[in-house]
Every structure is written in C-alpha cells, then in structure tokens.
Amino acid sequence: MEKKHPLPWLNMLVSETFYLSHFLLFFSYFVVRASASQMLSPDITDRLFRREIQVILAFSVLIAIKMVKEETWEAFIADTLLFAKVFLLMVALIMDYHLALCYLVGFLVIFISTQQPAYQGLGNSNQLTPLQLEALLTEGNTSRFWLVEFRALCSSTSIRTSRIFPDLSITYSNKNLSFGIVDLGLFPNAAEKFGISLGGIAAELPTYILFDNAVEVARFPGIEFEAKASRPSITKKLLCRHFELDRHLVEYVHGK
C-alpha cells in the first residue's frame, strides 16, 4: 500500500511548480522589504507600514469570507492567490513602481508557464476515455445510470470544481448509478459527439450528463443556460438537485 505523505500540503508546495513559484515570489517581498527599509525615507516607510497593516486586515477578512463560501480547496486557493497578488502589487507600488512591474512580470510568467493542479482523487468515479464510455453505455451489463463529468484541465472552472464530482461519487455511487470522468482536454474530438462546445475558453466545461440505459436524460448546463452570459456556480447541492441524486439513492436503498 502506498504511504501518504504526512504533510501533503508541504509536499505539494515543494513538488508542484505552480505553488513553489508563487511561494518564492511572495517570500521575496520580505527580502526586498528588509533590504529597502534603510534606503526609504521616513515618510515612505510610515506610509508603507500603514498600507501593509490595511492590506493584512483586508486580506484576512476576504480569506475568512472565502473560507466560508468556497466548497473546494482548489477554489479557495485560487481566490487566495488572486487576492495576494493584487495586495502585493499595491504595496510594492508604494516602494517603487519598478518593483511592482517586476512582480507583475513574474506573475505573468507563472500564469503562462504553469497551471494550478487539479484535485487528483477520483473517489468512486472512473476515469474513462470516450471509447470506454461508449462501450459501457452500449454493453448494458453495468449500471443502469451513468453520471459523467466532461472536463478539461486547461479550464480554470474544471480545476476549481475538480473535487466536487469525486466527493459526490463517494456518497451516491451504487450498483444502479455509476460515475465517470472524461477529460476532453485529451480527447477534444469527442466533444461534438456529446453536444459540448469547446468554443471560447472552454465555456461549457465542466459539463455533466446523466445517461439512463445509454440515453441522455439530463445535463448541466442545459439549454436554458446557453443564452446567459454566466451560469450558476457549480456546487454539490446544485448537482444533487439537478440530477436528483438523493432520489436515485433512496430508490436504490428500497430496491426500486
């Protein structure tokens, strides 16, 4: 059995370029701040200190709000890093606009060269290729219902919600309802077959489709969301309600 790392977040910080590069860039501020404190005028030092206190208080409030509102760690981390970048640029501007420009370039390099890792767990769901999904649906010797998440890990929304589907599969998977994940980033040609648009910046991803004996019976987002500029945030509660997962579980328990 593979042993889990005793400090998974520390392991991720060191092993993932996305997190390590952010940590080094944020940590560099303390080095710059310490070395520049002797060269700054008293007025600038006083103004910088007051702004740092304001930033810490505002950052703490926003983090507390996000910790309550966000459902996944991936979304929480993404928002936390965004706030930290904005506040760092604000503070750096007080010291020197050249410093703020250097940080801006650094963040752009990270954005271009790295990507936030998605949640790696699968829960009770199955990682499938489009051909494997078609075979499971057409053979008819597996579950009657298949709830499938179509995602692409080049989509920030897919990364932010990557933990939700595996968590749902742990609660709701049974002999009648199975969960599958298809990565359309690896198989983009399969998107058209399932009526999913990859236009824009993967606007329709992730897409969730419920199959009943190989026939699509429900999907999210549905047609009603296509005309809207935005769609509701994906949450466990929304998916449970949309696909009636509680009803499916109750029917399975009662043998219907």
**What is the tens place of the pLDDT at every residue in 100-157?**
999 999 999 999 999 999 998 889 999 999 999 999 888 866 788 999 999 998 888 8
pLDDT tens figures, 37-83: 788 888 888 999 999 999 999 999 999 999 988 889 999 999 999 99
Is residue 200 over pLDDT 70?
no
SS3 content of the chain, % helix, strand, coil (to 5): 60, 10, 30
pLDDT band at 224 (very low <50, low <70, confident <90, very high): low
Instruction: Please name the residue that has the structure tokens 């509701």.
Output: 232
pLDDT band at 31 (very low <50, low <70, confident <90, very high): very high
**Alpha carbon distance 73, 78 (integer Å):** 8
Is residue 3 over pLDDT 90?
no
pLDDT of residue 182: 95
Mean pLDDT of the 206-222 span = 91
pLDDT band at 229 (very low <50, low <70, confident <90, very high): low
Omega before residue 166 within 30° of 0, cis: no
pLDDT band at 255 (very low <50, low <70, confident <90, very high): confident
Domain edges within the chain: 8-113, 126-254
Return the CATH superfamily for domain 126-254. Glutaredoxin (3.40.30.10)
Q: Which range among 7-16, 177-186, 209-218, 247-256 shows the weakest confidence by mean pLDDT?
A: 7-16
**Average pLDDT of every residue of the chain:** 87
Instruction: Please name the residue that has the structure tokens 């009657």.
Output: 144
Is residue 223 over pLDDT 80?
no
Alpha helices in 127-174 (DSSP H): 130-139, 156-160, 164-172
Is residue 202 over pLDDT 70?
no
Instruction: Please name the residue that has the structure tokens 């897409």.
Output: 207
How would you classify the pairing of strands 215-220 and 177-183? unpaired
Helix (H) or strand (E) holding 82: helix 73-95
